Amino acid sequence: APEVEGKGHREKGQREKRLREKKSIPEVKLLTITQHQRPAEEVVIPHSLKLKALRNGEETNLRLEEIVVGDMVLTYDCTKGRPVYTELILWADADFHSPTTYLHLETEEGASIKLTGEHLILVGKSHRAIMARDVEPGDLLYRRNVGYVKVKTISKVVEKGRCGPITASGTILVDDILGSCYANLADISFFGRVFVSAQLQGRIGLLPMWIYRKCSKAKVEESVEFEGLHPYVISLIKIFSAIAKILEEESRISAMN
């Protein structure tokens, strides 16, 4: 019996070693961190990244920091299979000064996107939303005017500043790569089948804000001049955290039975 137990410990150790090796990503520091870093779970991307937006009826290239709530920004409609414009309804977070660690996903043909590890990104032809930290080389991302491209390399970079744009559709094209506007969410599955997708959870959570923007008579122009998490996002984090704890407890009780 002790021999069998020892073998089990060795196999467990080997699995853990393989997992550590898989998660080991080369780090490239673009600057020296001298300030306190924010938690990695934030839904943010570098504020210097570019996107397309409509201004005075004309399509123009803008940096994230230049757009305001109410702007129409370009995304990709996964159902219709074509680019469409969607309204920016909220800045979840913004900070132009603090250093933030991002994952730099680079594709085989040279396109790339940077986002935090817990930020969702749409992968594969099914456009399934997963956390960026779970993306692997070979996964497919959607690139505007090109189609599906394979991830070639994944590295860590540290850059100054961050933004967390939330659109009505829950998606956005940043540097022509299709990404989600949400973070720290995972598919809710029962008996091996997805019951509520991560992307749908995000859309449900932001639905009240979308309704408010639609019903508001006054035109709201909110730039990213503020810093920190939006109060509405703070409330959502508390709600989703409470739900997650309930689901974990239910799962634990079911496993015991």
* pLDDT for res 141: 97
Cβ 162 vs Cβ 46: under 8 Å: yes
For 175-216, how does the pLDDT look when each residue is reduced to its tens digit (9 = 90+)? 999 999 998 888 877 667 777 888 888 888 888 877 877 777
Let me know how long the chain is: 257
For 82-108, how does the pLDDT look when each residue is reduced to its tens digit (9 = 90+)? 999 999 988 888 777 788 899 999 999
Beta bridge partners of 141: 149
Q: What is the 8-class DSSP label of residue 67?
A: -
CA distance 183 to 252: 24
CA distance 181 to 153: 22
CA distance 35 to 12: 38
Phi-psi region of 207 (alpha: psi -120 to 50; beta: other; left: phi over 0): alpha
Q: Tell me which residues of the chain have a pLDDT lower than 50.
A: 1-9, 11-12, 15, 17-43, 218, 224-225
* pLDDT for res 244: 67
CA distance 35 to 97: 9
116, 118, 123, 128: CA torsion to nearest 10:
-150
CA distance 171 to 153: 23
Cβ 156 vs Cβ 26: under 8 Å: yes
Cβ 202 vs Cβ 120: under 8 Å: yes
> What is the Cβ-side half-sphere exposure of residue 29, based on CA atoms within 13 angstroms?
5
* pLDDT for res 65: 79
* pLDDT for res 19: 45
Q: What is the 8-class DSSP label of residue 38?
A: P
